[in-house]
Amino acid sequence: MSTPDDPVSDSPSGRPPSVDRLARSLADSGLPHPLLVDAARAAVAEGHPAGASDRARDLVEETRRALLTEVVNATGVLLHTNLGRAPWGTTVGDSRYTTLEFDLGTGTRGSRQNRAPTLLARACGAEAAIVVNNCASAVLLVLAALADGRGVAVSRGELVEIGGGFRIPEVLSQSGARLVEVGTTNRTRIEDFADAVAIPGSDIAVVLSVHRSNYRIEGFTESAPVAKLAELGVPVVADIGSGLLDAACPWLADGPPAWLQDEPAARQTLVSGAALVTFSGDKLLGGPQAGIIAGRADLVAACAAHPLARALRPGSLVLRSLQDLALAYLARDGQAIPFWRMATVPVAALRTRAERISSDLASDTVAVPGGGTLPGVEIPSAGLALAGDRVAELRDRPLPVIARVADDTTVLDLRTVHPDDDGTVAAAIADLDPPAAPAGL
């Protein structure tokens, strides 16, 4: 029989408790009733030795922790793919509609591609732009719209595979275009492209220049620059991937940081002769997941008119978020963009924060851009170093703190932690049992 302190005891007779009563006893978890019923039913079916009530509550907690939730990123990976890459919010209210496809001037239907894309085009010096749901979609749409049934010339050194199984040859195949491999893995000259374009029947519609994303080829190498490719008389599409708008970084008071020196940027790539650039919204751009196609107005229009454009289009939350982001870029307000704010914090400021949290644990660290960008690049940083592997304990909190382990040392890098979360990090460390010890002791 149940008591007020034990509302759903397992039956003394050996019969399992009522699923409905067990589910109702879990209402304090805050989860919807159907999920509580699922947990209760599973617990009863298992016949767990510890009792259905305890097991059901464990299952409810597992369900709650499996939901998408906020975490504190203390890994030092600025664009952590598993944690959503660039941190960026939106000012869209939850109770009002938006002018997603409505023209306030005429009172008639408008285009969702007339606001954020126009602002992004302005920010990177393009004639026009459209937005789709990620960069892989952007490449697929461009190839389908401009090269269906025709040849696309790509250097063999750029036939890449990046995260999630995104392979350039397979995307080409899905678009209906025909792959024309050019050059060799480590050396592709402009003459190789010229020869491919000149072959009778090759019917090259596009030359595709692909950012290698998360790897590098070093040593005996050569590649054809976009400026030379543009002289071939075929539209050059440059997939710059990471989304740096302008190599000069006019939104940063001190200009571009040193670790950005080799990264291609949209504005400069277009100036050098690319007809179109494609890039991600949630990497160096610092916004939500999206893919941007920017460049010549006629080619952008061809992409927008293709049937795939509707299948790949983003929703109002993404477009409003990108609009706010583009306005920050145009205002040259890098401090309004969380990625650029955390990427450019002086190491001395991070050291001061680390000392305030724990002078015994404070340590210099090294952060990385992440997100498949700038392979091998390291950014000086500071944070806290704890002896041993404590990441599971830090992760198992109401607001999880995600750290990294290196050489049997748990590192909490403050470059990727918002200053408002320093107290959360301090509390997480203080609650460790046994207490945290400095690395190396």
Count of domains for the chain: 3
Quote the pLDDT of residue 290.
96
330 plus 370 within the same structural domain: no
Both 366 and 292 in one domain: the answer is no
Task: Say whether both 322 and 391 belong to one domain.
Answer: no
Domain contains 440: no
Q: 353 with 417, same domain?
A: yes
Same domain, 213 and 286: yes
State the average pLDDT for the chain: 90
pLDDT band at 91 (very low <50, low <70, confident <90, very high): low
Question: Has residue 422 got a pLDDT over 90?
Answer: yes
Q: Are residues 418 and 284 in the same domain?
A: no
Q: Are 153 and 204 in contact (CB under 8 A)?
A: yes
> What CATH number has the domain bearing residue 349?
3.90.1150.180
CA within 13 Å, CB half, 219: 4
Question: Does 293 map to a domain?
Answer: yes
Same domain, 25 and 108: no
Average pLDDT (403-431) is 96
Least confident of 8-17, 239-248, 427-436: 8-17
Instruction: Please give the average per-residue pLDDT across 171-195, as a whole number.
Output: 92
331-366 tens-digit pLDDT: 999 999 999 999 999 999 999 999 999 999 999 999
pLDDT-wise least confident of 20-24, 55-59, 219-223, 400-404? 219-223
Same-domain check for residues 124 and 201: yes
Q: What CATH number does residue 285 fall under? A: 3.40.640.10
pLDDT at 87: 86
- Would you say residue 5 lies in a domain? no
Domain contains 436: no
Looking at residue 270, what is its pLDDT?
Answer: 98
Whether residue 95 is contained in a domain is answered as: no
Backbone angles phi, psi at 247, to 5 degrees: -60, -25
**Res. 4 pLDDT band, cuts 50 70 90:** very low
Where are any strands of DSSP class E within 97-185?
A: 102-103, 108-109, 128-132, 151-155, 161-162, 166-167, 178-182
Q: How far from 311 is each of 41, 265, 304, 373, CA to CA, in Å?
A: 39, 28, 11, 27
Residue 96 has pLDDT above 90, yes or no: no
Q: What is the mean pLDDT of residues 390-396?
A: 95
pLDDT at 95: 59
Note if the bond before 435 is cis, omega within 30 degrees: no
Q: Are residues 227 and 258 in the same domain?
A: yes
Domain shared by 164 and 305, yes or no? yes
Residue 13: pLDDT over 60: no
Region 291-307: what's the mean pLDDT? Answer: 98
Whether residues 285 and 360 share a domain: the answer is no
Q: Helix, strand or coil for residue 313?
A: coil
Closest CA to 228 of 264, 182, 274, 266: 274
Q: Which residue in the block uniquely carries the two structure tokens 């851009």?
A: 369
Considering the domain architecture, whether residues 326 and 386 belong to the same structural domain is answered as no
Residue 247 lies in a domain: yes
The pLDDT, as a whole number, for residue 406 is 92
Q: Please, is 423 exposed, middle or buried when counting C-beta atoms within 10 Å of its C-beta (0-12, 13-18, 19+)?
A: exposed
Residue-wise pLDDT for 283-296, tens only, equals 999 999 999 999 99
Of 306, 336, 366, the residue that ends a domain is 336
Among 299, 316, 336, the domain boundary falls at 336
Please say which residue of 285, 320, 336 terminates a domain.
336
- Per-residue pLDDT, 99: 84
Of 54-58, 128-132, 162-166, 246-250, the one with minimum mean pLDDT is 162-166
Of the two residues 341 and 12, the one the predictor is more confident about is 341
Return the pLDDT at 163: 63
Q: Is residue 276 part of a domain?
A: yes
Within a domain: 406:
yes
Q: Note down the domain range covering 386.
A: 72-86+344-430
